[in-house]
Structure 1
């Protein structure tokens, strides 16, 4: 079973759409009306994989309630430089056994991790 959609709670769907598409670089799959006051906005990494939906309708998920949403990147240093040049605050790049990463927040305070992951030991020896 694959992860299909992760809901990310936001207060302003238009501002969040701009952030996730223009700053983070996700592709817009859908941006459609969902009733008179809501939109279904679904984005995905350009290479495919699980998607995110920018949501406003879950009472138990206030904007900014997601923390630690990890996005895999090929080169964390390049992404750090690119996104930092856009005026976004990022944590210093850090290294752990599982990879190198930086953290940032979207306009609502949802916490994102941009991670250049290393393969688990069992995969490096094959």
Structure 2
């Protein structure tokens, strides 16, 4: 049986600001619904990804906004990713050369941190 990670909740303090940020760096806004008062669900997907993120209000998250430091995505070219993030006005850091990959890091407006990894062949 396959187990697929398809959705990660990202805690944010301002849903509209976060949605604007993520769409500005290329995420696709898949869903933005308010099915009842106090409940808003927004799903965004990075380009080429099978896994999306969810932001919103009333989702029952126990994680305070800005505290995630565990999200990692993989790209073909870390230099291009860095250039794209900076072109979108994001204060991205990198490229950090490590034995297991080349990394770019950035944070969303709340401070949730992302690692963008270009895989490198193992020696």
Q: Deviations over 1:54-89 (max 9, x none)?
A: 144435211012113111122111121121133221
Bigger strand fraction: 2
Structure 1: how far apart are the matches of 2:121 and 2:42? 32
**Runs of 5+ consecutive residues of structure 1 not aligned to the other structure:** 122-126
- Other-structure match for 1:71: 73
Structure 1: how far apart are the matches of 2:71 and 2:100? 15
Instruction: With the length of structure 2 as denominator, give the TM-score of the two structures.
Output: 0.86
- Other-structure match for 1:41: 42
Instruction: With the length of structure 1 as denominator, give the TM-score of the two structures.
Output: 0.84
User: Residues 119, 35 of structure 1: CA spacing in aligned structure 2 closer, same or farther, 3 A cutoff?
Assistant: farther
Following superposition of structure 1 onto structure 2, how do residues 18-57 of structure 1 map, counting pairs within 5 Å? 18-23=20-25, 25-56=26-57, 57=59
**Runs of 5+ consecutive residues of structure 2 not aligned to the other structure:** none
Provide the alpha-carbon RMSD of the alignment.
1.8
